[in-house]
Amino acid sequence: MSQTRKKTSSEGETKPQTSIVNKFLRGSNAESRKEDNDLKTTDSQPSDWIQKTATSETAKPLSSEMEWRSSMEKNEHFLQKLGKKAVNKCLDLNNCGLTTADMKEMVALLPFLPDLEELDISWNGFVGGTLLSITQQMHLVSKLKILRLGSCRLTTDDVQALGEALEMIPELEELNLSWNSKVGGNLPLILQKFQKGSKIQMIELVDCSLTSEDGTFLGQLLPMLQSLEVLDLSINRDIVGSLNSIAQGLKSTSNLKVLKLHSCGLSQKSVKILDAAFRYLGELRKLDLSCNKDLGGGFEDSPAQLVMLKHLQVLDLHQCSLTADDVMSLTQVIPLLSNLQELDLSANKKMGSSSENLLSRLRFLPALKSLVINNCALESETFTALAEASVHLSALEVFNLSWNKCVGGNLKLLLETLKLSMSLQVLRLSSCSLVTEDVALLASVIQTGHLAKLQKLDLSYNDSICDAGWTTFCQNVRFLKELIELDISLRPSNFRDCGQWFRHLLYAVTKLPQITEIGMKRWILPASQEEELECFDQDKKRSIHFDHGGFQ
């Protein structure tokens, strides 16, 4: 999360007739430049924007243009110090390591931004305990639409001050308070000002230590939030006690497009409770129920309403301990979600012997772009069914089969899929027990011009591939012109000397204009190859990170 601070020199010093306001609010696109032109003024004739701000009832009146210029220069210096700039309607100070002194300077900046619509000060720990100084100025930025305060170590006093200030920004559409534990138990203090007709569209409360009482309050509030499109309550395990109230409230949020309940302690009973709400969420595009390990068995009798989500594009059920009966029930539902673009069933190991029918019917999802099914203990029959279905997934961009040992020695089953996958950008086959014949097959597919769009290729933890196999692969990887990341690392317990194939890899890298990352952990380079790599590092004209030999 660290971010290097940088200083940027002030621009336009050779143009004395241009107000400092224009430099301060310099945009980055054509629209921004147009707005900047509207703000241009001479030193002797301040713009309407300046006059409007200077005469604000709460802004401190400036006795002269000189004082105004001085204030603007201080504000610009503050932003330059952080390597940031205010771009018209957006002030992004996310993860800037703001100090208490910086917070004071930022508060002084707000009166100069009456048209501000987006304020992001997330991931700045020193915000905690100082939010009152900001909320007291909220009436100066009443047009604010987006407020992000994630991971700011907010205190109880901060939370209360925020709740009182929210009514001063009636245009608010997005509120992010994630990773602030003091929000838990105090949610009513924050959201109590939201009334019927609120314009709020997005509420993110990830890992906020929400209590069951918070969940009950939220359930009662949801019917008032008719514009709500995104609700993220992930990593709040105690809200499961008030899931009935939340589900009841969800029935009134017909415009909801994203619902995230990742790692919320959901149980088998929770599926039935949520299922009753799904029929009212016809606009839902993304549903995340992942990492709820007690969910297993919940879909056996209650997936019926899931099929009502006709517009669903993303379904994430990874690490939900799905049972064979769950898979059987989902087999009747998932293939009917014709708009599905992303499906994640990974880390459900009981799928291995029971998902043949489900995987076979994935052929009925023509819009599927991402299929993540790693670590599912697939068996020969289920992998064969998947391979046959994947031929029909022409839109596939992400295919993750990692940690399924049955792939090893059987990659030929995916031959037609690899040849026909014109859009594939990410292919992950980590720890699949691949053998030399598998990488030779992959090399031949690459050589014949297939997989031309591939950007990320993960072949790590396949230690059974001999040097001859790596040689064949490295001789052909140069044809993947759009490749950005390649990983051929060994398992943590295994170290091996690099063979002569390393020279072929170095040559291939010179032919790959986009490559930036090559994972080679635990491959040991002999002294001669170390020298070759050093010469390569000195000669290359772009940054490529080799991670090898257990050291970086």
Q: What is the pLDDT of residues 225-252, one digit of tens each?
A: 999 999 999 999 999 999 999 999 999 9
Instruction: Give pLDDT, residue 7.
Output: 37
235 and 209 Cβ atoms separated by less than 8 Å: no
* pLDDT beyond 80 at 72: no
pLDDT in tens, 87-111: 668 999 999 888 888 888 888 888 8
Burial readout 136-161 (b: 16 or more C-beta within 10 A, e: otherwise) = bbbebbeebbbbbbbbbebbeebbbb
**C-alpha distances in Å from residue 270, one per residue of 39, 221, 241, 266, 348:** 55, 20, 10, 5, 18
Q: Mean per-residue pLDDT for 111-134? A: 92
- pLDDT at residue 17 above 50? no
For CA atoms 55, 59, 63, 69, the dihedral sign is negative
**Exposed/middle/buried for 528, CB within 10 Å: 0-12, 13-18, 19+?**
exposed
C-beta of residue 300 within 8 angstroms of C-beta of residue 329: yes
- In this predicted structure, the answer to whether residue 130 has a pLDDT above a threshold of 80 is yes
Q: Return the pLDDT at 9.
A: 38
E strand segments, 153-239 = 174-176, 202-204, 230-232
For the stretch 432-468, pLDDT in tens is 999 999 999 999 999 999 999 999 999 999 999 999 9
pLDDT at residue 279 above 50?
yes
Return all residues near 65 (Cβ < 8 A) that are at least 6 apart. 43, 46
Is 12 a residue whose pLDDT tops 70? no
Please name the residue that has the structure tokens 């859009």: 423
Which of 5-9, 256-260, 353-357 is predicted with the least confidence, judged by mean pLDDT? Answer: 5-9
Please state the separation of Cα 346 from the chain's center in Å.
Answer: 18
Is pLDDT of 15 > 90? Answer: no
**Weakest-pLDDT range from 57-66, 73-82, 144-153, 214-223:** 57-66
Please tell me the distance from the alpha carbon of residue 365 to that of residue 408, in angstroms, as a whole number: 26
pLDDT-based confidence at residue 552 (cuts at 50, 70, 90) = very low
- Within 10 Å of residue 483's Cβ, how many Cβ atoms? 26
pLDDT given at position 532 = 82
Query: At residue 59, does pLDDT exceed 60?
Result: no
Mean pLDDT of the chain: 86
Rounded Cα–Cα distance for residues 316 and 343 (Å): 6
Question: Which residue would you say has higher pLDDT here, 421 or 67?
Answer: 421
The overall pTM is greater than 0.95: no
pLDDT for position 109: 84
Contact in structure between 141 and 116 (CB atoms under 8 Å): yes
Q: Which run of H or E residues covers position 21?
A: helix 20-24
Domains of the chain: residue spans and CATH: 396-551 (3.80.10.10)
Nearest to 390 by CA among 321, 382, 346: 382
Q: Say what the pLDDT of residue 260 is.
A: 98
Q: What is the mean pLDDT of residues 211-225?
A: 96
Quick one: angle between helices 212-221 and 243-250, nearest 10? 20
- Across 10-14, 55-59, 66-70, 181-185, the highest mean pLDDT is recorded for 181-185
- As a whole number, mean pLDDT of residues 39-45 equals 37
Q: How many CB atoms lie within 10 A of CB 497?
A: 12
Look at residue 336 and tell me whether its pLDDT is greater than 80.
Answer: yes
The pLDDT score that the predictor gives to residue 87 is 63
pLDDT at 202 (0 to 100)? 98
> Beta partners for 315?
287, 343
Q: How far apart are CA 420 and CA 182, in angstroms?
A: 52
pLDDT tier at 4, thresholds 50, 70, 90: very low
The pLDDT of residue 85 is above 90: no
The CA distances from residue 281 to 258, 275, 336, 429, in Å, are 10, 10, 16, 36
At 101 the pLDDT is 87
**Tens of pLDDT along 472-483?**
999 999 999 999
Could you give the 3-state DSSP secondary structure of residue 518?
strand
Which segments of 189-296 are extended strands (E)? 202-204, 230-232, 258-260, 286-288
In this structure, of 24-38, 92-106, 164-178, the range with the lowest mean pLDDT score is: 24-38
What contacts 501, CB < 8 A, 6 or more positions away?
467, 470, 471, 473, 474
